[in-house]
With several copies, the nearest count.
Chain A
Amino acid sequence: MKKIINDPNDVVSEMLQGLVKAHPQLVYFDEVEVIAKKDKAEKVGLVSGGGSGHEPAHAGYVGKGMLDAAVAGNVFASPSPDRVLKGIQEANTGKGVLLIIKNYSGDIMNFDMAQELAGMEGIKVETVVVRDDVAVEDSTHSTGRRGIAGTVFVHKLAGAKAETGATLDEVKRVAEKTIANVRSMGMAMSPCVLPGVGKPGFLLGENEIEIGMGIHGEPGVEKTSIKTAAELAEILCDKILADYDVTGNEVALMVNGLGATPLMELYILNNEVEKKLSKHNIKIYKIFVGNYMTSLEMAGCSITLLKLDEELKELLDAKCDTPAMKV
């Protein structure tokens, strides 16, 4: 295992310490592994989180116009409820808190519990669950579809809504609408290595890729041979469009890298995805290309489509200023 780390047990806390040093507008709470904004505005608070290893998710999305706090679990393991509770406490300014949860069994149980704990403290908490991955209906980590890169759009749009001074219910409605309108599909080309384990959790042949693999290396839908960028764009988009036909609509597109895939390849893929969507008469309003929701050093990508209407476009264009996304 070649990683730039010290003790594998310390990767999460050391990473978050490194993050706040680079972004002094954020504050780190140790033990509970929470990152929050230093300056709190009086508004609905937004909290997300989950296992670590998906950087910049979620701490990288804390800042003006997106999250107020992010809660990190160990690598690929849900944060415990007390950690999430701390995130809620930090995000709360009296107007309630929305929890944005990716649909993994562990996350669901731990975030639900945290919601209850916060309720006992008199903090009003609502939750939404992101299930954007069209690859599989159930997985080793979830009942129902998994939440992946589409989550970043939920952070962005709900965050923009909260910034307008909207109520918790209004912010939740925007989050739900975003979730209803977003779909993703991914593919992996090489495995990732958990720092505490030291060897790959799965293997792929020299010319093999796996379509639909999850962001923890959970099985996808098909192992196949390496494809051209054009073929990949076709496969990933077709799978999304078969589930959710956005022909004739406007969308936001995210071409996401899983960690080890160079930006060059993501841009080449973007070029093909744009061509493919044009053929389907889908108008792309805005494109995001980069590593937004990763899986340690996995090579691969995901495509996310978000169907837009006037409300969502406005929220997408609203200013945000976080380490990993600035609009």
Chain B
Amino acid sequence: MDIKITSKEYMEYIELVAKKIELNKDYVTELDSITGDGDHWVNMNMGFQRVLKDKESLASMKLSEMFQKVGMLIMSTVGGSSGVLYGSAYIKAAKVLGDETEMDINLLCEVLEAELNGIMERGKAKPGYKTMIDALYPAVTRFKESLEKGLDNHTALQELKQGAIDGMNSTKEMEAVKGRAYYQAQKGVGHIDPGAVTMCYQIEVLVDYLCK
């Protein structure tokens, strides 16, 4: 199994993510209503729909250019924390893409790691704070370790996905440190973080797309 992701393919993936998010309105909204201000689904949906609108032109761009542009689009469309956090992720990732026209699996790993760092730096947050980071961090870590260990692409990608799922679920028993959930009486304990859920969706969809 060989991994070569072009801009065109990345946009196909984005389309699937957009669909996935669109379909999970009630669940995500409910989670953010419990732990935050209830707008996380609206934010994410607005952002990905906006990106989709420019699908054609984005698909024809250089990878780094496309990432930069996606970041800017999400950032300027979405209010709240997730807009600037995803914007930062994409723009940080754009930098590692350099002049490449396609991502192999190692570059994909670097891109995801850059996104993780982009979010952690922007949000001044770490794993364990009950945020989207808690889905992305274990996912990237396990993905990276698998590649370093020389595991095959398929296994490494499954590790990526399982890391996101486990990480997402781990937020359920966490106490929030950042964001609005922090100010809830229980700091959100007993509920999964909505940002971790939508982050997990994106990784699941990516892995499924690449492994299909």
Contact = CB atoms under 8 A, between A and B. Distances in A.
The answer to whether any beta carbons of A and B sit under 8 Å apart in the complex is yes
Contacts of A247: none
Interface in B54-83: 72, 75-81, 83
A109 B122 contact: yes
A105 B178 contact: yes
Interface string B74-110: 0111111101110110010000000000000000000
A198 to B, nearest CB: 15
B85 A80 contact: no
> Secondary structure at chain B's binding surface: helix, strand, loop or mixed?
helix
Given A81-B75, A82-B72, A113 B180 contact: no
Given A112-B122, A113-B122, A140-B183, A82 B178 contact: no
A78 B76 contact: no
Contacts of B178: 105, 143
A110 interface: yes
Give the interface size class of chain A.
Answer: 20 to 34
A77 interface: yes
30 contacts: A73-B79, A74-B79, A77-B79, A78-B79, A78-B80, A78-B84, A80-B76, A80-B77, A80-B78, A80-B79, A80-B83, A81-B75, A82-B72, A82-B76, A83-B76, A105-B178, A106-B79, A106-B80, A106-B81, A106-B84, A109-B85, A109-B88, A112-B122, A113-B75, A113-B84, A113-B87, A113-B88, A113-B122, A140-B183, A143-B178
B80 A81 contact: no
B123 interface: yes
A251 to B, nearest CB: 32
Provide the main secondary structure of the chain A interface: helix
Interface of A: 73-74, 77-78, 80-83, 105-106, 109-110, 112-113, 116-117, 138-140, 143
B81 to A, nearest CB: 6
A77 B37 CA distance: 12
Contact of B75 (A77, A80, A106): A80
B127 interface: no
Contacts of A140: 180, 183
Most buried by B among A109, A112, A117, A143: A109
Contacts of A78: 79-80, 84
A202 to B, nearest CB: 14
